[in-house]
Structure 1
Amino acid sequence: MSGQSAAPPAFNGITPVQQMVASCSGAIVTSLFVTPLDVVKIRLQAQKNPFPKGKCFVYCNGLMDHICVCENGNSKAWYKAPGHFSGTLDAFVKIIRHEGMAALWSGLPPTLVMAVPATVIYFTCYDQLCAALRVRMGDRAQEAPLLAGAIARVGSATVISPLELIRTKLQSQKQSYGELTQLIRSAVEAEGWRSLWRGLGPTLLRDVPFSAMYWYNYERTKSFLCERYDSREPTFTITFISGAVSGSIASIVTLPFDVVKTRRQVELGELQAKNLSGQASSSTFSVMRRIVAQDGFPGLFAGIFPRLIKVAPACAIMISSYEFGKAFFRKHNQEKILGQPQTSNTRQTEQH
């Protein structure tokens, strides 16, 4: 027996820690790629429809939503005053020329603070659950990704929800961390620990169906493409296409809940900015009925093209980066295992 500690049990060729590292790197890569697109989009929107003081808009880079409250011109908010842009490419060029390359990644820190832990929990839980469910479900193993995706999303959203509440309050009100701690302590004393999970319901209504459909369609599309191109292991291109297709389908089906969640986020942010947070907006289905009454049924699918343009590449980049990371660690582990007997044999030969 050697004195070395045993390595953690490998799952599908990689350890849970390696899964976490792969999902963490995927979240960072996705944020780096998609954030500039959303920064430019917000700047173009602000130019066409300037946001008045006290109003909110939702900034989303494909991984996380961020509520931004518009304040006066002296505020140090991450978004700048509207510029004079003639289009997307012109906006990219002028932002880089006048504000520097780093301006394209404005708002990235709050994204990483939230997205990295959420993504690590979500993807690692999904892989572990999916493998366990495939074994238990037998003939119905093809449906395992649907159930595993839904459960993993419930778990990650529940764990991250208190952080989401804290981040929302920090973005909607200019206050120190000490003031925020006092505010959260008073909220817990007045309403109990449940107050930290306020808003979890609407989040789950949108994200759980999205995750269930996303993973089910992703696994089916990936298997189909592997068979079609006679590939034993999914390539980067196959995972990228599968992620984009499944993300697009899931985003279209769940768009009504996304519209409702965005509207409730904006309303809540504006109420908090005016210190009227007690007057919270009504339930998800009440907001849905109000949207249909005001804008008709198509109002529930408002913004379908901007959502597709953002979600499809974000899902594709995230899943392909994650799969690439897993493949890298799997190969590394296999090489390590194959190298061990050779090293042992060499030592025995030298001793003889």
Structure 2
Amino acid sequence: MSTDTQFSLLPKVINGGIAGIVGVTCVFPIDLVKTRLQNQRPGPGGQLLYKNLLDCAKKTFSNEGFFGMYKGSGVNLLLITPEKAIKLVGNDFFRHLLKTDKGTLPLGREILSGAGAGMCQIIVTTPMELLKIQLQDAGRSAVRVPVGNINNSSTARVEVPVGNINNSSTAAAPRLSATRIAQELLKQRGILGLYQGCGATALRDITFSAIYFPLFAHLNAMGKRREGSDQAVFYHSFLSGCIAGCTASLTVNPVDVVKTRLQTLHQAEGEESYTGIIDCFTKVMKNEGPKAFFKGALCRILVIAPLFGIAQTVYYFGVGEYLLGLNKP
């Protein structure tokens, strides 16, 4: 299926999927650290479990090992293929659709194209992030992760045990998994249970994409072209993706903090619960100050910059076209 001879959907979907898998595999441990830093709140005496990025990474690796750094990666790798395909292909599609009769794309339409791609991806991003966050945060929140009966109540909960963490003599509880969390949410809240924090996810992803894609397009257009192609050389696409990703991720980090808090189904003893985006913004500002909105900002930049640099490079390298026997890279 294609809109015309200049927009072939299938190879772009393949490129988007491969780009997502390669990118996520490279940066996932940093994303896990980002989630834990964003979720931690000061204790009664102001103490913090993690001092900074390196301290969090060191403690996580020491306590949970190498594979602990990849908690939640399974669901992310499974869903990143459609997520990145929707995001990257969606932007290309909207850019193609919104071109003027002269074949140009004004800045306003570039922003609209990016925003449209961000809006389309949340159908996959929201449940992917929700499940990933529970698994990433399990080490911080220790023993039990509640996932059920989430009806704006901060009391009644159904808990999914992480496992026999305390080495008690009783039989080990079922280990936490994305499948188990999803089943509990579907059982108690239906499909909407997987879309907790959808509003915050939409706000983050639409804003991010509206900034990222136009900026990337303009930066990428400045680079040297590959021989016999209108695409930039791979290293310029990589750098353009890194710079655009860094800029967009820093801009939306406050919304990402709110999204992470709203999608965390477990609050440790004494931690604040939130009823929505405005309530979360208000309580974080009141209790933790404006700096809290930039928790994990460095981690997020370290995740997003190379992730999109890698993804854009792979996407434009033309693997899909090569596999289908179309235009070679």
Normalised to the residue count of structure 1, the TM-score between the two structures is: 0.63
SS in 2 for 1:245: helix
CA shift at 1:186, angstroms?
4.1
Shifted more, 168-177 versus 311-320: the winner is 168-177
Equivalent of 1:251, from 243, 249, 252? 249
User: Is the CA contact 2:12–2:320 (under 8 Å) kept in the aligned structure 1?
Assistant: no
Aligned-pair identity (%) = 23
Equivalent residue, structure 1, for 2:122: 157
Gapped regions of structure 2 (runs ≥ 5): 41-48, 139-144, 146-159, 162-173
Residue type of the alignment partner of 1:236: F
Where 1:234 maps in the other structure, the secondary structure is coil
Aligned positions of 1:152-301 closer than 5 A: 152-162=117-127, 172=145, 173-174=160-161, 181=183, 184-188=186-190, 194-226=192-224, 232-266=230-264, 268-270=265-267, 281-301=274-294
Residue 93 of structure 2 is matched in structure 1 by 128
Say which is worse superposed, 163-172 or 102-111, in terms of deviation: 163-172
Which deviates further from its counterpart, 214-223 or 133-142?
Answer: 133-142
What corresponds to 1:341 in structure 2? Answer: none
Structure 1: stretches of 5+ with no match in the other structure: 1-7, 43-56, 69-81, 336-352
Q: d(CA) in 2 for partners of 1:239 and 1:122?
A: 17
8 Å CA contact 2:258, 2:280 repeated in 1: yes
Give me the CA root mean square deviation. Answer: 4.2
TM-score of the superposed pair, with normalisation by structure 2: 0.66
Alignment length, in residue pairs?
273
**What SS class does the counterpart of residue 333 from structure 1 fall into?**
coil
Tell me, in whole angstroms, the C-alpha distance in 1 between the residues paired with 2:182 and 2:327.
48
SS of the residue corresponding to residue 134 of structure 1 reads coil
Residues 290-327 of structure 1, C-alpha deviation per residue, up to 9 Å, x if partnerless? Answer: 22223333332333323222221112111111111368
Which of 56, 74, 86 is residue 109 of structure 1 equivalent to? 74
Deviations 1:305-350 (A, max 9, x none): 2322222111211111111136854994247xxxxxxxxxxxxxxx
CA distance in 1, matches of 2:67, 2:188: 38
Q: Is the 8 A contact 1:226 1:232 kept in 2?
A: no
Alpha-carbon separation, structure 1, partners of 2:324 and 2:210: 29
Supply the distance in 1 between the matched residues of 2:280 and 2:127 (Cα, whole angstroms).
23
Q: Identify the structure with the greater helix proportion.
A: 1
